[in-house]
A = this chain, B = another copy of it.
Amino acid sequence: MLGYAFMGKAHSNAFLQVRQLAWPPPLQPRLVAIAGRNADMVARSAARYGYERSSTDWTDLVADPAIGLFDNGGPNSVHAEPTVAAARAGKHVLCEKPLGRDADESFAIWRDVDSTGVTHLCGFNYRFVPALRLARDLIRDGELGEIRHFRARYLQDWGADPALDTWRFHASDAGSGALGDLASHAVDLGRFLVGEIASVSALVKTFVSGRDVDDAVEAVVEFERGAVGTIEATRLALGRRNALQVEVNGSEGSFWFDLERLNELQLFREDGDRVRGARNVLVTEPEHPFINYWWPPGSIIGWGDTFVHEIVHLLGAIAGDHTVGPDAATFEDGYRAAEVCDAMLRSSRSRRVEEVVYRRLP
């Protein structure tokens, strides 16, 4: 594990729960080592999460033959080098989103890692929210018909504090602001649920002085298969803490969703019944995605539990049970999301629609 803060904690907790909830797990993780910059903090984290050792130098982990999976939960600026190095050392890799700080860096990570043949997963964990997986399944099964609209907003408000500073406000560390941090999730869900994004028209804006990354992005998107909609992200929506709101309308039905109520899916299907209305589906039934891991119906799961689903899936892929995609995001998906985000930045500068051109591996 690289990183002991927010994502380090979430991933470590997930590794520990794997065997609790999926039995037998595809592979049983052994927590070999955790790396981070501050020696005291990383040692404390190692003790807490049960890693056998800690290090202030990620190259130690890359060099360690006992390590088979390298999980990169560090800041965006330390995604590329350690992840590629780990893959070159033959380790499977999980890298948090956004894959790189821009499309070029993301492409290079994908290219370099893919060439090594290891298994790679990019941490778009909302593909592992049961309600969104169920929505994907319903769309895939044609229950919503031809998709016409995709709308996603990722609204947070912690950026409204002008006194706050973090690596997330600095371009050299983060690449971009709400764009790479939040809008990238919406982009990935658009691709996951509806298909490839063909073009974007966007406006990216910084409101709070002293930041060299964006606070907010507003975009119109068009999908290759014809659906149109919007993607928005902001860190300035006071009263919205973690509101990733998604709505999809098709010719036969619709769904809408809010991450602040992540166990619920509002689903409408045109069925001619006199009692017309969207169902509030509490996605906690045994037949719902991932729920066989958890509790009886009606007992909700938490945000952190999506990482357990993601990691079990990754372990299954490493074990050869299935591929990483399309259920999870590969590094190619990580790159493609970055390409859409870059097109949004270009569009904001050019003030025109920008086509999204996806590069392919040689």
Question: Could you say which residues of chain B place their CB within 8 Å of the CB of A20?
Answer: 9, 12-13, 16, 48-49
Question: Could you say which residues of chain B place their CB within 8 Å of the CB of A153?
Answer: 151
Q: By the criterion of a CB under 8 Å from any partner CB, how many residues of chain A are at the interface?
A: 99
28 contacts between A and B (CB under 8 A): A13-B20, A16-B16, A19-B48, A20-B49, A23-B47, A134-B274, A148-B207, A149-B216, A149-B236, A155-B249, A157-B249, A201-B220, A218-B220, A218-B229, A230-B230, A237-B249, A238-B251, A239-B254, A241-B282, A242-B298, A266-B280, A267-B275, A276-B282, A277-B280, A280-B280, A295-B304, A299-B304, A302-B304
Residue in chain B with minimal CB distance to A265 = B275
Question: Could you say which residues of chain B place their CB within 8 Å of the CB of A9?
Answer: 20
* Stretch of A75-83, A283-291, A323-331 with 4 or more beta carbons under 8 angstroms from chain B: A283-291
A residues 333-353 touching B (CB-CB < 8 Å): 350-353
Nearest first, the 9 A-B pairs at minimum CB distance are: A242-B298, A241-B298, A239-B268, A302-B302, A352-B352, A299-B303, A277-B279, A277-B281, A351-B353
Is B236's CB under 8 angstroms from A148's CB?
Answer: yes
Question: Could you say which residues of chain B place their CB within 8 Å of the CB of A90?
Answer: none
Question: Could you say which residues of chain B place their CB within 8 Å of the CB of A242?
Answer: 284, 296-299
Instruction: Please give 11 more A-B residue pairs, beta carbons under 8 A apart, in addition to A20-B49, A203-B228, A259-B298.
Output: A158-B297, A239-B266, A239-B268, A262-B300, A274-B285, A278-B279, A280-B280, A295-B304, A299-B302, A300-B300, A351-B353
A residues 112-154 touching B (CB-CB < 8 Å): 134, 138, 148-149, 151, 153
Question: Could you say which residues of chain B place their CB within 8 Å of the CB of A247?
Answer: 237
Q: Min CB distance, A336 to chain B, in Å?
A: 21
Question: Could you say which residues of chain B place their CB within 8 Å of the CB of A220?
Answer: 201-203, 218-220, 230
A301 CB–B CB distance under 8 Å:
yes
Q: How far is the CA of A19 from the CA of B228 in the complex (A)?
A: 45
Is B138's CB under 8 angstroms from A251's CB?
Answer: no
Is A303's CB under 8 angstroms from B304's CB?
Answer: no
Q: Min CB distance, A163 to chain B, in Å?
A: 13
A160 CB–B CB distance under 8 Å:
yes
Report which residue of A201, A260, A274, A278 has the largest number of chain B beta carbons within 10 angstroms of its beta carbon.
A201
Is B50's CB under 8 angstroms from A19's CB?
Answer: yes
A156 CB–B CB distance under 8 Å:
yes
